[in-house]
Amino acid sequence: MRPGSIKHVPFAIFLLLAAAAGAIAQTTGVLEGLVFDPSGRVIPGVSIDVVDLGLGITRHLETDSRGRFQAPSQPPGKYRIAVRHPGFRGEIQEPVDLAAGRVVQLEFHLQIGEQQESVLVESEAPLLSIGTTDWGGSVERRKLEDSPLRGRDLFDLSAQTPGVVVTSSAKLDLVYGYGIKISVNGNRPSQNGFRLDGVYINDAAAAAPASAAGVLLGVEGVSELRIVSSPFSAEYGRAAGALITAVSKSGSNQLHGSVYEYLRNDSLDARNFFDPAGQGAPPLRRNQFGGSLGGPIRENSLFYFANYEGIRSSSGKTQTSTTMNAAAREGILPTRTVMVADSVKPYMDLYPLPNGRDFGDGTGEFHSEISTDTREDMVTGRLDYYASEKLRFFGRYTFDDAESSTNDPFLIWTFPSDSRYQFVQADAQYLQSSRTIHALRFGFSRVRNSDRSEVRSDIPPSLSFVPGQTLGVIEITGLTPLGGLQARLRPRRFALNAYQFSYDGTYIRGSHTLRAGGSFDRIQFNQRNDNNPVGRYNFTSLPDFLEARTNYGDMMLPESDTNRGWRQSLFTGFFQDDYRIGQNISATVGAIPRPLR
């Protein structure tokens, strides 16, 4: 069947694709506050300058009739807030640390005096916030940089948030996803949404995207990890588990860079319990390295940031399998002697002789070292352009290419896997006034994973069960399968393309912060999911195999086609009103129309 020929997507596939669709995301924060005079009354019309200390960008505001100011859609970073009004001494608070999704509330108490005089106050963000956008948790830059991460997976530190559990027993493969499996508040790992700068990057299994190496690189290029679980704001109404957003780093007026390498090898490993006696630990060589650089192209206006990370790994693992001994190959079994059929002799020779214990029933242990070789290269680049105080642009591109290869226990097969994903994004933000903001976003994500199988070059094609295919699978009760499930379920290929367009607007009126937006997502999912193209024979015992008495056999029809193409279009929208009832209490009302598709 050709891609795109299926018009009606089954409900299960709809859920899978919906998890990968986009929602309008808040990867910025909000700075707000009140200004009082010495008697404790609010002061309207106060001039507020919000200065990004890293970028040198200034945003001008004024307090309203209630003495309140609000600066939504501010990029994460450190800020200086300068307050000035005729007849009062100015007051400056810095550094104010703003995280993604956070609402930082400030208070200024101006004293009578000359306007040219200023009071500098060292400021820290409050521990608690009543803002609805602050529901959830954050993993800040310092923790991302300082915490030991196994494989430096981008979403690994999400387990530090309350209610989040990494399900280590979950299956990791192409169908279920190679990425980290996170259960939030008891929900399934496939019910989470993963985003990079607000663009959804879920793979075809609705899991966190991961390369053939089993990780999602890029920690060095991320400033913060934001996790939002229930209750959700209206803009987040697309996931039952949690929304996990990574906010990428941007350049600044100062040049910053880093070079790093992480090394692991077997010299620091102890011998595994199952490793053969008298031998050391299996070989391990893992190098994870890279570098980043960010700075200004044009001061206070145009900034860049780039990051590269690579993996080169070669590892071994001791595998204990069950094979037939020399006597069994002659038909001599403990209970009886059988005549070995000529048709099974070529396949019998594929089983290695035992190199461990003899079980006394015609079988014995075979110890082998399964080697895994992995290569991965990831590069990302970001540009930020502040055309004016009112107009901002942002663009980012991420590319990752990886491959990994491992063996079967009898060292007959090699099972290569490869992956490639690309994320492209462009944002534009227009500050029409201090109370009205418009934002446009375009994003494209492509996540592709594939598996295949290869046999040793000395295996003659005449042993294949299906013409044109590689060696088939043999299952004998009591013995380790020859080929097994990995050989049966290959080749496979999943490719998910997601085009995401969105708009949202913010309008502040008195105590109300009104937000509304809409999005369009076009999703293309192409898959090849072969099930036993090489064929399989099953035997209920070793004597049955030697005498060629098959229990059953199955295979795909040679002319069958497992290529499938799924297509879906989603139109979504939301409306939300954040109403500040008092200084320490607020309420949120929102609505999400049912998606059209």
Q: Please state which of the ranges 371-375, 423-427, 591-595 shows the lowest mean pLDDT.
A: 591-595
Going by the DSSP 8-state scheme, the letter that residue 155 receives in this structure is: T
pLDDT score at 494: 92
**pLDDT digit string, tens, across residues 403-434:** 999 999 999 999 999 999 999 999 999 998 87
More confident residue, 520 or 133: 520
Q: Please state which of the ranges 165-169, 288-292, 351-355, 549-553 shows the lowest mean pLDDT.
A: 165-169
Mean pLDDT taken over the chain: 83
CA 251 vs CA 117, 138, 266, 295, 299: distances in Å: 33, 21, 38, 5, 11
For 460, list phi and psi in degrees, rounded to 5: -70, 145
Task: Please compute the mean of the pLDDT values over residues 10-20 and round it to a whole number.
Answer: 35
Going by the DSSP 8-state scheme, the letter that residue 283 receives in this structure is: P
Task: Please compute the mean of the pLDDT values over residues 237-262 and round it to a whole number.
Answer: 84
Cα 482 off chain centre by? 34
Going by the DSSP 8-state scheme, the letter that residue 593 receives in this structure is: P
Q: Please state which of the ranges 148-157, 400-409, 460-469 shows the lowest mean pLDDT.
A: 148-157
Task: Please compute the mean of the pLDDT values over residues 385-393 and round it to a whole number.
Answer: 91
DSSP string, 440-479: EEEEEEEEEEEE--EE-TTS-GGG-SSTTS---EEEETTS
Cα 476 off chain centre by? 40
CA 231 vs CA 116, 135, 162: distances in Å: 46, 7, 14
Residues whose CB is less than 8 angstroms from the CB of residue 84 and which lie 6 or more positions away in sequence, other chains included: 46, 47, 49, 90, 115, 118
pLDDT score at 191: 79
Q: What angle do CA 211, 527, 239 make, to 5 degrees?
A: 65
Cα 538 off chain centre by? 39
pLDDT at 597 over 80: no
pLDDT at 9 over 70: no
Dihedral over Cα of 34, 40, 45, 51: its sign? negative
pLDDT at 11 over 50: no
Six-digit token string for 414: 């090699």
Contact criterion met (CB below 8 Å) for 284 and 264:
yes
Q: Is 467 exposed, middle or buried (0-12, 13-18, 19+ CB in 10 A)?
A: exposed
pLDDT at 14 over 70: no
The two beta strands, 242-248 and 222-229, are: antiparallel
544-547: long-range pairs with CB below 8 Å, 24+: 544/476, 545/344, 545/348, 545/474, 545/476, 546/328, 546/331, 546/338, 546/339, 546/340, 546/341, 546/344, 546/348, 547/338, 547/339, 547/340, 547/341
Task: Please compute the mean of the pLDDT values over residues 47-67 and round it to a whole number.
Answer: 89
Q: What angle do CA 216, 144, 283 make, to 5 degrees?
A: 55
**pLDDT digit string, tens, across residues 64-104:** 888 889 888 888 888 999 999 888 888 888 888 888 777 88
pLDDT score at 274: 67
How far is residue 26's CA from residue 560's CA, in Å, rounded to a whole number?
46
Q: Please state which of the ranges 227-241, 260-274, 437-451, 461-475 shows the lowest mean pLDDT.
A: 227-241
Q: Please state which of the ranges 130-139, 236-245, 289-298 shows the lowest mean pLDDT.
A: 130-139
pLDDT at 54 over 70: yes
| Segment of 215-229, 246-260, 266-280 carrying the highest mean pLDDT | 246-260
At 8, the pLDDT band (50, 70, 90 cuts) reads: very low
Tokens 């309420």 belong to which residue? 587
The C-alpha torsion from 231 through 236 and 240 to 243, rounded to 10°, is -100
Q: Find residue 520's DSSP bridge partners.
A: 501, 571
Going along 325-412, which residue ranges are E strands?
A: 363-386, 391-407
The two beta strands, 536-539 and 473-476, are: parallel
- Other C-beta atoms lying within 10 Å of the C-beta of residue 241: 22
Task: Please compute the mean of the pLDDT values over residues 333-348 and round it to a whole number.
Answer: 93
Six-digit token string for 341: 């059929």
- Other C-beta atoms lying within 10 Å of the C-beta of residue 367: 17
Structural domains of the chain sorted by starting position, each given as residue range(s) with its CATH number in brackets: 29-130 (2.60.40.1120), 256-591 (no CATH)
Q: Please state which of the ranges 37-46, 120-129, 299-308, 318-327 shows the lowest mean pLDDT.
A: 120-129
pTM here is: 0.82
pLDDT at 145 over 70: no
How far is residue 396's CA from residue 380's CA, in Å, rounded to a whole number?
7
Contact criterion met (CB below 8 Å) for 71 and 400:
no
Amino acid letter, residue 470: T
